[in-house]
Structure 1
Amino acid sequence: MPVRRRRSTALAAAVATAAALGATVLATAGATTATAAEVPLQDYELTWGIKQSYRSYVGMFGTFTPSGGATQAAGNGAFTFVDGTGTYDTTGNTVDLAFEGGLVSKSAAHGFEITFTDVRFDSKAGEITADIKKVDTSAGAPKTTEGDDVPLATVAVTRAMKDMATTLTAEAGEYLGSATYAGAAGDPLTVVQKTPPSTPPASPSPSPSQTRTQEPSPSASQTAPTERPETESPAPTSTKTTEASPSASATEAATKGEVADGTLGWGVKQSFRAYVVGPVAKGRVTVSGGATQAAGNGAFTFKDATGTYDTDADKLTASFQGAVNFKGHESGGTYGLDLTLSNLKATLDGVSGELSADVNSLGTLTKGVVLADLKAKSADLTAEKDVITADGVAATLTAAGAKAFGGFYPAGTALDTVDLSVALSDDAQLPGGGTSGTGGTGGSAGGSTGGTGGTASTIGGTGTTTGGSTGGGALATTGSDIPGPALAGAAGVAVAIGAGAVYATRRRRTQQ
């Protein structure tokens, strides 16, 4: 049972930094704050991802669910807690803030549900705390552990309070399920005050009340006036400039016709890539047929697009060359996971669309499987210099896609976003520098070996990927980050999925 307490020992470095912060604040605030021991604070936000490898681990089979105003960044990113209120101590030059919003980290496969509430940041103690409730069902009967003001990480407090280094505590390791977290580097922590919408963009002499409100984060209050003109003042000028370019492009290419070339960027799902090359599946990721993969087990790029477009109707259909193979859970030369995606095809009709592919799972090929529903940021497909670009297109796993992934993720799961760029003429310049005539000559790829369009490259094994914040590589090289008790459960689930797929394949072959 974790000890319920608040740490009161201040880190010397944090206090020194906070003191420097306070000295600057007092110099700008004047004598009006000298008589008050505490100044009330409000409207702050705290952003922290706990630890990237922990998010990847949970994302394999579980979910994060923010509530009460808290949010999570796209791509299984960091968490933001809102409506922070508290006080600024003018004597010690420190802040103490409490934030609204909660977070549930849950994985039925691993048998845990952890709830975080009442997240707090104390610059004097140099720590971030939260109330935690953990329900553990991995051993059968539910076991509940609770703690108030549990210290999750120590914080190297800085004057700007942005991207502050954190170090996870023993208590964090206990609740998150891995003793190796104790003393490990956590994700950076940022605490900022939201700029009130009514604040003028440039105020030469703020009133004393405004100065008091923004005291603990001078960098935020100093940058806010300069940020607003940059985003608001030039807007009319930049809008006119960008509007002129599409209209010129529209005259260069027909409003409808055939696609000359193009690329599709998609990572499938970051946690899936991490799982394949991680310590459970111990597998590899291979691209072929002209497809490429970004360093650090990153996203994939499929090339040599063909298809049709209609900018008047805002419709696009594009097919891409290249293949990617995910292989893992090897036993005696046989793989429990062997999945190849090839012949990817994206369609957009306004903001809606679909992403499909030929799927080869354990030797069984199914063509044209709709893997994801797409939702673009804008319904307007406008060509600029004969290139149509749709970046950050949201992708949601379909029921057919969930089946293709062996039940790793349920239908409705958010996949990595899709980036589309298609050229409407042979001399159009695609993002990345190439013209539409520089694509490969290979055909479509299938099976686990890919096609004939290019040299295959492989990322895999626990020793060939790099860790850190580069997506999936972290789990591959830091296997100890995965909570030990759940590791066997994860392997069991994965092997069961593989075994079920093998059985289903053999049964279909027998029936045929």
Structure 2
Amino acid sequence: MPVRRRRSTALAAAVATAAALGTAALATLGGATTASAAETPLSDYELTWGIKQSYRTYVGMFGTFTASDGASQAAGNGAFTFTEGTGTYDHTTNAVDLGFKGKLVSASAAHGFEVTFTDVRFDSAAGEITADVTTVDTSGAAPTKKGDDVPLATVAVTREMTDMATTLTTEAGEYLGSAGYAGAAGDPLTVVEKTPPATEPTTGPTTEPGEEPSTGPTTGPTDPEPTDPTDPTDPEPTDPQTTPGTKDPSPTASTSASPSAPATAAPAKGEIADGTLGWGVKESFRSYVVGNIAKGKVSVSGGATQAAGNGAFTFKDATGTYDTDAGKLTATFKGAVNFKGHESGGEYGLDLTLSNLKATLDGGTGKLSADVDSLGTQTKGVVLADLKAKTGDLTAAKNVITVDDVAATLTAAGSEAFGGFYPAGTALDTVDLSVALSDDAQLPDGDGTGTTGGTGGGAGGSAGGGTGTTGGTGSTIGGTGTTTGGSIGGGSLASTGSDLPGPALGAAAGVAVVVGAGAVYATRRRRIQAPSAE
């Protein structure tokens, strides 16, 4: 196992980890204490981490993420997962050290940077996550920066090793291009065993009937019956254990009944009684609109709501038809969302409204369309996205059909509606559908924190869902491509005083941002003046 550096925070993390683990893991190995048995090999672990949501939003606006070689990214520009984790569990220090497969490339041709992450590692004793990182200036203006085992974040290790708080390091700021990242909160980190042990070992401690011994750190017995605390082979610790978690392959479904569940099932096909559609359009677009470049606002009307923190939208009062046998669904929803930005003299260079949303599914695939009004010109029934559900089946539970996390991919017509900034094939936010098949069916609760007819964000507002301040220091629209905060030269993202890198837009990139905000700038006869720098 390679020697890892230990910073001052590492010692405290190691002590906390050792105290939390206690003695249970040692007991499962029959109290082995010899040097040869000090480490137990671990395999088939997964690590999920999003680095920082505002960083993903920034890259999603101006570039792309590419995950390969065992790495993947969640839909909607979500977190990254690295797989096939292998390493050791050290019984003398109660520490877990794991390395993962996967390659992640963050790149923007417009801003001339490409950052590659490989050999991602997690060390619970050090309380850190590291990776081999290479930053390339694709314009050739600066030398390539490469580092092995770069400490990207410190980790507040917990018992379950799920949703652990992270803090970005100075090195993360250097390689990601913004010194403002140093000390900033990163995304939560989760490390879990992908599958539990399949068979019992031939040697080891005696276990109670139904228990499954483990050769590594555990999250507790699998026997639903409580363990006898007097059993010397399985003592009950009084302190919580800090151990890698295990994904439950067969989570137990809730058996609680809805208090207003209908007495009789609806027919296999018919008309929809009601329904909701949840969709955020695209997180990076919402962030852009309310950020320091567009300095705009997001508002909803006609019964639509928006989740707090510039979140996703919910459209309601569905009408349409369904056929569960054929796997077909057509639903139209009330409500509208409007995006405004780039205000000058009381007029907006960006003024985009989506209304009358309609979703169709047939065997798991379908379309999402809307009436689009851009700068006062309306086009009805624009197919914005192709839909792909996880399954082609439409199953009604208590007379409600729910289809969540439907992948949405931008169409050519949708790309045109967004001014060509997002190319066709771009992943949009996922879509959640719930439709009632009878008047007495109870739909799932809405977002619960939304506002009706309200406004999300504002000039210099925060990006949705706690992503932090969005945008940079202002730019010259269609001008020289400079900012007051400095320029992106050689893949270096100029710091703007916030935790989000502030890009200096080149002439082409500047036009793309303005046009890509959802308004076709070429149709404007007046010149939009640059927002003043802050």
- TM-score greater than 0.5 by the shorter chain: yes
Q: CA deviation at 1:69?
A: 1.0
Equivalent-residue separation in structure 2 for 1:473 and 1:185 (angstroms): 10
- Among candidates 461, 466, 470, match of residue 475 of structure 1: 470
Partner of 2:106: 105
Partner of 2:489: none
Contact preservation (8 Å) 1:462, 1:476: no
Equivalent-residue separation in structure 2 for 1:197 and 1:35 (angstroms): 24
Structure 1, gaps ≥5 residues long? 434-453, 508-512
Q: CA deviation at 1:351?
A: 1.0
Partner of 2:351: 338
Q: CA deviation at 1:42?
A: 2.4
Aligned pair 1:325/2:338, yes or no?
Answer: yes
Amino acid at match of 2:76: G
- Among candidates 340, 348, 351, match of residue 364 of structure 2: 351
| Cα root mean square deviation, aligned | 3.6
Partner of 1:171: 171
Amino acid at match of 2:100: F
Q: Give the 3-state SS of the residue equivalent to 2:144 in structure 1.
A: strand
Structure 1 residues 332 and 224 mapped into 2: Cα distance closer, same or farther (>3 Å)?
A: farther
TM-score normalised per structure 1:
0.80
Contact preservation (8 Å) 2:299, 2:454: yes
Contact preservation (8 Å) 2:352, 2:518: no
Q: CA deviation at 1:144?
A: 1.9
Amino acid at match of 2:442: Q
Q: Give the 3-state SS of the residue equivalent to 1:129 in structure 2.
A: strand
Q: CA deviation at 1:95?
A: 3.1
Equivalent-residue separation in structure 2 for 1:102 and 1:313 (angstroms): 41
TM-score normalised per structure 2:
0.77
Deviations 1:424-460 (A, max 9, x none): 3444333339xxxxxxxxxxxxxxxxxxxx9731112
Equivalent-residue separation in structure 2 for 1:106 and 1:229 (angstroms): 32
Q: CA deviation at 1:495?
A: 2.6
Equivalent-residue separation in structure 1 for 2:143 and 2:358 (angstroms): 47
Deviations 1:159-185 (A, max 9, x none): 443333222111110111110111112
Query: Which one has the bigger helix percentage?
Result: 1
Equivalent-residue separation in structure 1 for 2:129 and 2:55 (angstroms): 17
Partner of 2:283: 270
Partner of 2:512: 493
Structure 2, gaps ≥5 residues long? 225-244, 473-495, 527-534
Indicate the larger mover: 39-48 or 343-352: 39-48
Partner of 1:76: 77
Q: Give the 3-state SS of the residue equivalent to 2:59 in structure 1.
A: helix
- Among candidates 216, 222, 226, match of residue 214 of structure 1: 216
Partner of 1:394: 407
Q: CA deviation at 1:28?
A: 4.1
Structure 1 residues 132 and 356 mapped into 2: Cα distance closer, same or farther (>3 Å)?
A: same
Equivalent-residue separation in structure 1 for 2:39 and 2:294 (angstroms): 54
Aligned pair 1:123/2:124, yes or no?
Answer: yes
Deviations 1:102-147 (A, max 9, x none): 111112232211100011222333322111111123x664642111
- Among candidates 314, 325, 338, match of residue 327 of structure 2: 314
Matches within 5 A, 1:47-86: 47-86=48-87
Deviations 1:214-234 (A, max 9, x none): 13xx32xx2666699987596
Structure 1 residues 192 and 348 mapped into 2: Cα distance closer, same or farther (>3 Å)?
A: closer
Contact preservation (8 Å) 2:327, 2:394: yes
Deviations 1:463-496 (A, max 9, x none): 65477xx265653799712223456786553135
Equivalent-residue separation in structure 2 for 1:171 and 1:504 (angstroms): 45
- Among candidates 395, 416, 419, match of residue 406 of structure 1: 419
Partner of 1:205: 207
Partner of 1:286: 299
Partner of 1:155: 155
| Percent pairwise identity | 70
Contact preservation (8 Å) 1:354, 1:370: yes
Q: How many residues get paired?
A: 465
Equivalent-residue separation in structure 1 for 2:369 and 2:67 (angstroms): 30
